[in-house]
Each structure stands twice: as structure tokens, then as C-alpha cells.
Structure 1
Amino acid sequence: MRKIVVILIGVAFFFASCGEYQEIKKSTNAEFKLKKAIEYFNSQDYAKTLDLLDDVRPLYRGRTQAPTIEYYYAYSLYEQKRYLDAGNYFNQIVRLYPKSPYVEECLYMKAFCYYKGTPMVLLDQTPTKDAIQAFETYIKRYPNSSRNDDAKEYISKLYDKLVKKSYLNAKSYYDREYYDSAIIALNNSIKEYPESGYREEILFMLLESRYQLAKNSIPSKKRDRYNKAKEEYLSFAEEFPDSKYVSKAKRMNNNINEYLGTE
């Protein structure tokens, strides 16, 4: 019986709340609506906050309250995990209200929202590059900010995501034995990210791709391609003499030397 009473009270409260909200929505008093929107924000009801702010935003455009309204609007989107939308609204505050006291915080939140909204590694990483640029802009503009250590850490994580994307893209060609394409992609990855944590593996894949391409070439192309594979071996062996791939690399080099007639 007690459980039924509790449920009925809950239902009654729900409908009362809905009725109260509908009365607020019908109000033509913009100041009252703005006050209630902030109350809903403070009670973490972000959907109602956004709904009410949508009603009053046009009425306050160009007035002193406008930056505050946009500030609550952006944070409501953020709390709903609509990170890219939130980032764009934080950016809008920076652009439209450059003298607002919210500018520094909003510039940082723009970058952080872009960071939170970055896609999975296998997808297009343009948003990741945008997030890096946004953090770098913040650090440059506020070099003494207490947020900069966090910003630098996020940049490092974003950079790692770009490196991994580049590595996986190149490796996919290697795994499918598309050695021509693998050589191009692996070289591009090394040039773009020379300090990559995948460098050893990439250089080994580059060696094997050169070797396999030479091995399976028509006779007229073999010597030139084996010479290029030899160059890859020498570079790899010099940089990683104790590599876990050293045995495989030496076997390939022996076969290369046998074909080229060298020691």
C-alpha cells in the first residue's frame, strides 16, 4: 500500500511540474523566463533550460544580459554531451562578446568540447586537428593560465590519436599486401610524425614492403627494387640494431644480397 502511495505522489508531482513548466512557457515576461531557465540549469534540467533560453535569446540580443544567456546555453549543450554544438557556442561568445568576462573560460571550453567530440581513431581526424589548434590558440593567448598544463596534456593525447590514425592507415595497406600503396603511406607517416612510437614497426614494414615488391616484380624492375629494399634494410639496421624484427630483417637482407650478388 505504501509503495502505491509513493507512486501516486510521484505521478502527481510530475504532472504538477509539467503544469508549472507549461505556465512558464506561456509567459510573456522575458525576465521571469530567464530567471526560471537559470533555476532549471542549477537543478540540472538542461533540456528545459535550453527550451526557455531559446525563447528569450532573441529578446536579449544586443543587451548586457546576452553573453550570460549564451554562456548558460553553451554549458547546457555541454552537459547534454552535445560537445561540438557546445564548442561552437562557446566560440560564438568569444567572437561576439570579446570584452565579456567569460571569454577566457569560453575559449578553453571551446577547445575542451572539441577534444570531447573527437571521433574514433579509424574515422576522419579533421576534428582532432581542430581541437589541437583550439588548445594551441588558448595557450598562446593566455600563456600564464592555470589551465595550460591540462591543455598541453590534451594536445598530447590528440596528437597520439593522429599518429595512431596515420599508422593504422599505412598498416592496412601492408596487411592487405598492397605494397605499392603501403610504401607511400608508410613514408608519409614517418615524414609527418618522425617521433612516432610506431617508428620501429613502420620502418620494418617499409623494409618488408620494399622487399616483397622487389621479390614479386617483373625481371626488368627487380634490380632497382632490390636496391631500394637494401637501402631500407641499412637504414633500419642502423637505427634499430637490437630490434625484435632483426632476425626477419637479416633474412630479407641475405636474400637481397643473394640476388644483387653482394656480400
Structure 2
Amino acid sequence: MKKLLPLLLLVLILGSCSEYQKVLKNQDVKAKYEMAEKFYDEGDFKRANRLLEQIASKYIGKPQGERVMFFFANSYYQIGQYNDAGYQFERFVKAYPRSEKMQEASFLGAKSYSYLSRKYSLDQTDTDKALLKIQNFINTYPDSEYLPEANEIAASLTRKKEKKALEIAKQFTKLGEFYDLEYSISAIKALENFMLDNPGTIYKEEALYYKTLAAYNLAINSHPNKKEERLKNANEAYGKLIKTFPETEFAKKANNMKEKIDKELQNYSK
């Protein structure tokens, strides 16, 4: 009996595959719909999707159209084809604005685009698009059951954009240390804008440190007639860092800069 079970299972699988291929190739829309629904309910979204892809357009304007369109969009989502899922959910929302599935479709559509967001070091066009979609959902459905997850997605996407902006400013800071003073000036401006644009950022401590570093590099390497003012600016940047984050992880490096700043300023106090 134990030897027969695997054989019986294989027969059932082959029979199922054979029936699927048969329905997939014929022109019977109803048969495709019924089999697609069966696969969908069983969680076999890949095969359901292939069938729905063939018949979705046939059900536009028909009573089953809403059901088919939602299944079609969600099957893309379930198999990880998020670009297609986002597009199909948007089509569903436009076609069935009074649907009971409206809120779920809006959320899953926005969430689909969030999966297309790339690593922070790469182009963030898809992140911008996803953030706009998820924010529109939050604004439209402030009492939604999906709101906590939507807020988490929005926060994650926002952090990615913040990280991108911070890394650009940090690159200016590093270039200012070894090359042109203009890079340090650009770094300071970029970091100031970063903190203005993102007042609640989790990267504030890092931004304040790199502003201090950029201001220090600018001051130390400046022409004598600009050096005193820039040293004072660097001192002010250091003070802001220590006041905001008294136990900053950058304390050792910042304090070393502070000592050199104070030493340089002594030349002007004389």
C-alpha cells in the first residue's frame, strides 16, 4: 500500500496537469473561468493567473467581471509580479469604484508598487511612485484596517529616500576633505536642507555629525581671511551635535575636531 500511494499521487498530478493543459488550449471561456476559480481557491495562483489572463477581457461589463478582475490582479500579486499587480489593481479600482473590494484593492495596488522600490543607492523613481500611492491610500482611508501596515510601508519608503539624500550629502563631505572646498560648502547646504526637509528623521544624529565634519574641513582648509568665521561655524555645528545627542556615537571624532578648532581659534583671540 505504501508503494502504491506515490504512484496514485503521480497519476492524480498528471491527470490534473493534462486537464489544465486541455482547458488552457481550448476556447471554452466558462471552462477556463471555473478552472481558474478552482486553482485560485486552492492557492495555485500561477495556473489561475494563466487562465485569467486569457479570459479577463471577456468578462468586462458582465456580472462576473468584478470577481474576475480582482482575482486576476491578486493572482499577479500572489506570484510576485508586482508591476502587473499594481497596474491591474488600478484598473479594478477605476472600473469598480463601489466594489466591496475597493479598499483592499487600493491597498494591495499601493503595496505592489512598494515592492518595486529599489535599494537606496539606486534610482528612487519607483520609491517616489510607491510613496505617492501609499500616501494617497492613507489619505483616502484614514480608518482602514490596513492603515497600520500602510503607515509602516510609508515609513520604510521615507527612510529609504532619507538614506539616499544623506548618502549624497556624505559624499560631498568626503570629497570636501580631499579635494575642493566647494564640496564642503555643498555638503553643509545639503545637510541643512536634509534636516529641514526631514525634521523627524532617524538619521539626524548622523546628519549633524557630517555637518560638523564638513564645517570643520571647510574651516581648517580655508584662506586666513575666512578662517576665523568658519571655525566659529564649525564650533557651532559641534555644539548642536553634542547638545542634541550628548552621548553620540561620534563623540570621539567630534571631540578631536573640537580640540583642533579651539586651538586654531586661539590664534585669533591673541
What TM-score comes out, normalization by structure 1 length? 0.83
1:209 paired residue among 197, 207, 214: 214
Partner deviation per Cα, 1:39-93 (whole Å, 9 max, x = no partner)? 1112222222111112112222222322211111111111111223212211211
Name the CA shift for 1:57/1:226 in 2 (closer, same or farther; >3 Å): same
Determine the C-alpha separation between the residues in 1 that align with 2:88 and 2:134.
16
How far does residue 214 in structure 1 lie from its aligned partner after superposition?
Answer: 2.9
CA RMSD of aligned residues (A): 2.9
In structure 2, the residue matched to 1:142 is: 141
**Equivalent AA in structure 1 for residue 269 of structure 2:** T
Determine the C-alpha separation between the residues in 2 that align with 1:192 and 1:256.
33
Partner deviation per Cα, 1:167-190 (whole Å, 9 max, x = no partner)? 233223334546434334323322
Percent same amino acid at aligned positions?
Answer: 30
Structure 2 residue ranges without an equivalent (≥5): none
Report 1:92-241 matches (<5 A): 92-176=91-175, 177=177, 179-180=183-184, 181-219=186-224, 222-223=227-228, 225-240=230-245
How far does residue 120 in structure 1 lie from its aligned partner after superposition?
Answer: 2.1
How far does residue 235 in structure 1 lie from its aligned partner after superposition?
Answer: 4.0
Given that residues 230 and 256 in structure 1 are in contact (C-alpha distance below 8 angstroms), is that contact kept between their aligned partners in structure 2? no
**How many corresponding residue pairs?**
261
How far does residue 254 in structure 1 lie from its aligned partner after superposition?
Answer: 0.6
Structure 1 residue ranges without an equivalent (≥5): none
Name the CA shift for 1:219/1:71 in 2 (closer, same or farther; >3 Å): same
What TM-score comes out, normalization by structure 2 length? 0.81
Report 1:25-104 matches (<5 A): 25-104=24-103
Given that residues 107 and 137 in structure 2 are in contact (C-alpha distance below 8 angstroms), is that contact kept between their aligned partners in structure 1? yes
Q: Which runs of 4+ in 1 moved over 6 A?
A: none
Q: Greater CA deviation, 229-238 or 35-44? A: 229-238
How far does residue 222 in structure 1 lie from its aligned partner after superposition?
Answer: 4.0
In structure 1, the residue matched to 2:262 is: 254
Name the CA shift for 1:12/1:243 in 2 (closer, same or farther; >3 Å): closer
The DSSP-based 3-state class of the residue aligned with 2:269 is coil
